[in-house]
Amino acid sequence: MSSYSGIASAAVALALAFLAIGQPVWEWRLTGPTQEELWSYRLFGVDHVITNVSSGTSTATTYSYYDLPGQPRMSALFVEIVRWYVLAALAGIAGVGLNIATVLKKLRGTFAGLGYLGACAMSLYAGLYFIFAVPGAALPAPTGQTIPDFRGQFLFTQGGLNMILSWTPLAGWFLVLGMGLVFAWGSSEIWHVRVRTVRPAPAAMPRPVATPQTLPPAPTVQVTAEPIEEPDIDEVFVIAPSGLLVKHMSRSLLSDKDRDVVGGMISVVSNFVRDAFTEKDGQVQEIQLGGHRFIMYNEANLVIAVMVGKGSTEDILHRLRHLSTCLKDRYGDRLLMWDGEPLDGIEDELVVLWEPFFVPPPPAD
């Protein structure tokens, strides 16, 4: 589809080039109380019109750029611009021919892309060069002033009469620029198109005739179940929704250990749990505090935290869920609203964490 898009864009660009021939490119107008003088510049000629303001009659004269009186710089400027304009149109026509060859799979799109790119460059050069060259080449004002820029006007008084001198680009200049931009689009569309090459199919090789063979029996695979590593739980903390420590049981602490260290560790765990589990009901969190690994389970703001040395989190999680269900069934609101009163028998409930058998998770609600 890119080859056809290139042809379509080139057709649009050449249509703009054809329209630009009959359109004025730039004009120079002098307006006074009694008459108006207009110089209208086309690509291949100039129209000079003098209009009597009071009677409305006009006198028109057409010149070519080779016989334009009193404006040698303007004649040379338009001869140069027309030269680049014609070259751009020829490059565009050549690009169309190369584009057709690309459609017929005779050439790569690079050649047509170069043709369109050359037409684009020459069209834009003609239009942009005109912007910088016309102020110095235009017909001087009656006051002897030169035109300072590409578009504008100024007022002056001559013989006691107020005069207006104005100058501006017209449709022909915009058509030349549009022609260059459309050629640029066509170049981008066709540049990457390649010729499709047909490779000969490789000769068919004769298939080898398979001979029946007796395969040896498959080896017997023995699957051995890996032993389940029993969780090594050292400390257990039960923390009420208020953040208070309900119960702490230890399997490894000795009586001569520093109680301040234990109390500080419990305080850190309690504060962390209160902050971390605000919106994590029914989830497990594992943290590392120094050389201690803590696994914490939160359900209805009741937190059970264990310090472990080994064992998978999933295996420990089953036991924590089971313990949480047992504690809530036995103590109910006394545990959830715990204010420091002793809970008889809670040690017996916590012992389940050290049982050497698998405790299934409680049924889902």
Q: What are the pLDDT digits (tens) for 109-145?
A: 788 888 888 999 999 999 999 999 998 888 877 767 7
Overall pTM > 0.85: no
Residue 254's pLDDT is: 44
Residue 120's pLDDT is: 92
Residues carrying CATH 1.20.140.150, the chain: 2-190
Please give the sequence-ordered ranges of beta strands (E in DSSP) within the chain, or none if there are none.
Answer: 26-31, 35-41, 46-52, 58-63, 152-158, 161-169, 232-239, 245-250, 284-289, 292-299, 302-310
Range with top average pLDDT, 40-44, 180-184, 240-244: 40-44
In this prediction, residue 93 has a pLDDT band, given cuts at 50, 70 and 90, of very high
Task: Please state, for a pLDDT cut of 90, what percent of the chain lies above it.
Answer: 28
Range with top average pLDDT, 26-30, 96-100, 239-243: 26-30
Paired tokens of 113: 């892309």
- Do the beta carbons of residue 174 and residue 124 sit within 8 Å? no
Residue 261's pLDDT is: 65
* Residue 179 pLDDT greater than 50, yes or no: yes
Residue 177's pLDDT is: 93
Q: In 263-294, which positions are buried (b, 16+ CB within 10 angstroms) versus exposed (e)?
A: eebbeebbebbbeebeeeeeeebeeeeeeebb
If you count them, how many residues does the chain have? 365
Residue 227's pLDDT is: 59
* Residue 197 pLDDT greater than 70, yes or no: no
In this prediction, residue 284 has a pLDDT band, given cuts at 50, 70 and 90, of confident
Cα separation values, 187 from 6, 9, 90, 215, 296, Å = 7, 9, 15, 64, 67
CATH architecture label of 232-354: 2-Layer Sandwich (3.30)
In this prediction, residue 236 has a pLDDT band, given cuts at 50, 70 and 90, of confident
Task: Give the model confidence (pLDDT) of 304-324 as tens digits.
Answer: 888 887 766 677 888 888 888
Residue 148's pLDDT is: 86
Q: Phi and psi (nearest 5°) for 306?
A: -125, 145
Chain mean pLDDT for the chain: 80
Residues carrying CATH 3.30.450.70, the chain: 232-354
SS3 352: helix
CATH architecture label of 2-190: Up-down Bundle (1.20)
Q: Which residues pair with 61 in a beta bridge?
A: 48
| Residues contacting 226, CB < 8 A, separation 6+ | none
